[in-house]
Amino acid sequence: MQNFTYRDENKQKNIIEIIHLDDAILIVNKPAGLLVIPDHWNPDALNLIDLLQKQLKKNEASNTELFVVHRIDKETSGLVMFARTSEFHRFLNDEFENNRIKKSYLAIVGGVPIENKGKIEAPILYSGKGRVSIHPDGKPSATEFVVLERYKHFSLLQVHPLTGRTHQIRVHLKSIGYQLAIDPMYSNRSELNIFDIKWGGRRRKEEYETSLMSRLSLHAWRLEFYHPELEKLVQFEIEPPKDFRALLKALKKWDR
């Protein structure tokens, strides 16, 4: 199975990159803007698992069934893994349950942490309308982070969720004052342009209008786990897409 293209809701062409495929698992690089599974309210909405299963059938694969192991938000880019057998699905679920699969994300956040690394432990509760919040009655949740790069008003973090709650990284980072730089739901910012990060100096009119990035500033960067068929620890990593890299480049230039 090779990389393939699809057209999104705006008729734009996007690529599904196949990172790894064997008899047990399928790992892909999901573009931002694509659901992982069908939407509960709109089951006909374009989604990753349907696209992959159709492509497997097109390739006349003997096994086209995929099992969901984990999900990332629609507007998050990066690695997503599926099981190809019910046995491996059970194994991976157990590995996730016991925190033996390490997921690492790259996050561009507002603010500059003083500490180089930290751990956030705060219970998360579903609060309705697709949102979650930090609440004493919520489920225990933990997230670790390391500061990779500091700018003047923003930072690049490597984030490792130790539990798998909905929107965990987003609300945990917000709870310590470093919410995602772009997050319409939790930071009230839906995009960043040059004007937003160019501090001082002259600002041209087009800098108000040219968007560097207009989706969650979060990328599922790395997966590390034990593969029972290969009988070894495996690691997969994918660099951020063009918009994420463009924002980092602009920060290095204008927000030092």
The catalytic residues are: 73
Tokens of 103: 């997921």
Count the Cβ atoms, other than its own, within 10 Å of residue 229: 11
Tokens of 126: 């579903």
Alpha-carbon distance 111 to 180, whole Å? 9
The β-bridge relationship of strands 218-227 and 77-83 is parallel
Query: Residue 106: which of 145, 132, 73 has the closest Cα?
Result: 145
Q: Is 156 helix (H, G, I), strand (E, B) or coil?
A: strand
Query: Residue 175: which of 149, 138, 150, 220 has the closest Cα?
Result: 138
Query: Residue 175: which of 130, 142, 126, 137 has the closest Cα?
Result: 142
Alpha-carbon torsion angle 60, 66, 70, 75, nearest 10: 50
Give me the residues paired with residue 117 across strands. Answer: 146
Q: Where are the beta strands (DSSP E) in the chain?
A: 4-7, 13-21, 25-30, 67-68, 77-83, 102-110, 117-121, 124-128, 131-134, 142-150, 154-161, 192-193, 211-213, 218-227, 232-237
